[in-house]
């Protein structure tokens, strides 16, 4: 009898642990399901597409590390031998058909390493720091942005209450109001925003953030150009540039000094920190995401090779969980034929 009770207790314990992990129990626990569900509830459904940064194009090329990069991390990408790169450019927002001149944020996602090699995936943004420090605050921000059915716009009272509770988000708001809009994915800088650890061949660890800095000079769209810009001007511009040759970025790694925030992406580091050019990214080809390989990749920022490790930043862990939720949902929709991310058409429902 006691043995049976023991087995029952183990079975119940496993079932509870599974249900907790799946987010079925646990009361107010904030899960990736709840975060992605809140994102979905803020606008129309786009089955088969990413729940954020939905509009984008696939790209490919190579990355070659420098000896300075190799001194910081034993990752194969810094060995000096070029590694294959599969990537994706996107704009911020959940609408796969949104006009490029309605989104200020530009993004670059990369996967270093070919089949059978250790993979390094990253997803970077043109903003230099994040709006909030915690997943809970990010969730609150999504709820505050929910369109009011009466106006179709977020409720200003809810947004003000969010900002009062999370004052650092006002800094991001200032960036989002004033930062110039780049006129090309190719001349934009993309930032890791979250901190990571680089581990060298001797096992020494350093906290870092990195940026992909374009070799092309930044050029901003003025208000009139923005008004006139075609809805898909970013992809058209990229195709034109790549038809004339490769486009390059330098990977610039910034080293944290003692006391710098390594677990809070809303806190930028002083711009006096030591920086190292760790490698060069060369992109040679672009194709629509509908037919490109990047459509079915989850650019989870915690898929890291030996030589690179996560920081304790809770946003980073939440990103990993949320991207996997979004990936599973969109791949399931594609498999079930609900929405056709391959052709860009969507069923009405």
Tokens at 249, concatenated = 């970025």
Give the nearest distance from C-beta 123 to ligand HEM in angstroms: 4
Contact map string, positions 25 to 64, toward ligand HEM, x by CB under 6 A: ----------xx-------------xxxx--x--------
Q: How many residues bind ligand HEM (CB under 6 A)?
A: 30
Cα–Cα distance for residue pair 33/78, rounded to 1 Å: 36
Give the nearest distance from C-beta 343 to ligand HEM in angstroms: 18
User: Residue 106, Cα to own-chain centre: how many angstroms?
Assistant: 10
Using DSSP's 3-state secondary structure scheme, residue 270 falls into coil
Among 63, 112, 210, 299, binds ligand HEM (CB under 6 A): 299
Q: Binding to ligand HEM by residue 249, rule CB under 6 A?
A: no
Residue-level length of the chain:
349
Closest CA to 283 of 124, 86, 112, 92: 86
Let me know if 139 is a catalytic residue: no
Residues with Cβ < 8 Å from 138, sequence gap 6 or more? Answer: 35, 131, 132, 315, 318
Among 318, 334, 341, 346, binds ligand HEM (CB under 6 A): 318
Give the nearest distance from C-beta 51 to ligand HEM in angstroms: 4
HSE of 57, CA atoms in CB hemisphere, 13 A: 19
**Per-position DSSP letters for 27-59, written without gaps between them:** TT---HHHHHHHHHHTS---TTS-SSS-SEEEE
Residues with Cβ < 8 Å from 136, sequence gap 6 or more? Answer: 30
Contact map string, positions 101 to 140, toward ligand HEM, x by CB under 6 A: ------x-x-------------xxx----x----x--x--
Contact map string, positions 63 to 102, toward ligand HEM, x by CB under 6 A: -------------------------x-x------------
Tokens at 206, concatenated = 């350093």
Count of H helices and E strands in the chain?
9, 10
Q: Binding to ligand HEM by residue 175, rule CB under 6 A?
A: no
Q: Which residues bind ligand HEM (CB under 6 A)?
A: 35-36, 50-53, 56, 88, 90, 107, 109, 123-125, 130, 135, 138, 193-194, 265, 298-299, 315, 318-319, 322-323, 326-327, 330
Hey, which residues are catalytic here? 53
């Amino acid at each position: 009898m006691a043995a049976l009770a023991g087995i029952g207790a183990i079975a119940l314990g496993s079932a509870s642990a599974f249900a907790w992990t799946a987010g079925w129990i646990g009361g107010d626990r904030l899960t990736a399901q709840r975060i992605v569900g809140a994102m979905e509830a803020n606008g129309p459904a786009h089955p088969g597409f990413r729940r954020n940064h939905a509009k984008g194009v696939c790209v490919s090329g190579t990355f070659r590390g420098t000896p300075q990069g190799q001194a910081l991390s034993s990752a194969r990408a810094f060995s000096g031998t070029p590694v294959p790169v599969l990537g994706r450019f996107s704009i911020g927002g959940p609408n796969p058909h949104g006009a490029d001149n309605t989104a200020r944020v530009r993004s670059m996602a990369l996967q270093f390493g070919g089949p059978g090699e250790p993979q390094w995936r990253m997803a970077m943004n043109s903003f230099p720091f994040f709006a909030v420090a915690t997943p809970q605050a990010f969730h609150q921000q999504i709820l505050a942005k929910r369109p009011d059915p009466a106006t179709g716009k977020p409720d200003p009272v809810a947004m003000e209450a969010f900002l009062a509770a999370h004052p650092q988000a006002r800094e991001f708001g200032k960036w989002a109001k004033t930062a110039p809009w780049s006129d090309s994915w190719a001349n934009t800088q993309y930032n890791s925003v979250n901190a990571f650890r680089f581990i060298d061949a001797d096992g020494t660890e350093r906290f870092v953030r990195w940026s992909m800095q374009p070799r092309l000079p930044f050029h901003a769209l003025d208000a009139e150009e923005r008004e006139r810009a075609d809805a898909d001007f970013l992809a058209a511009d990229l195709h034109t540039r790549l038809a004339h040759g490769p486009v390059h970025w330098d990977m610039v790694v910034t080293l944290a000094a003692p006391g710098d925030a390594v677990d809070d992406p809303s806190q930028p580091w002083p711009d006096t920190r030591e920086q190292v050019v760790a490698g060069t990214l060369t992109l040679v080809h672009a194709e629509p995401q509908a037919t490109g390989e990047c459509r079915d990749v989850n650019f989870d920022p915690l898929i890291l090779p030996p030589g690179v490790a996560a920081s304790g930043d809770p946003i980073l862990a939440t990103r990993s969980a949320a991207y996997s939720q979004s990936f599973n949902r969109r791949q399931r929709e594609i498999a079930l034929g609900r929405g056709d991310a391959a052709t860009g058409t969507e069923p009405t429902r």
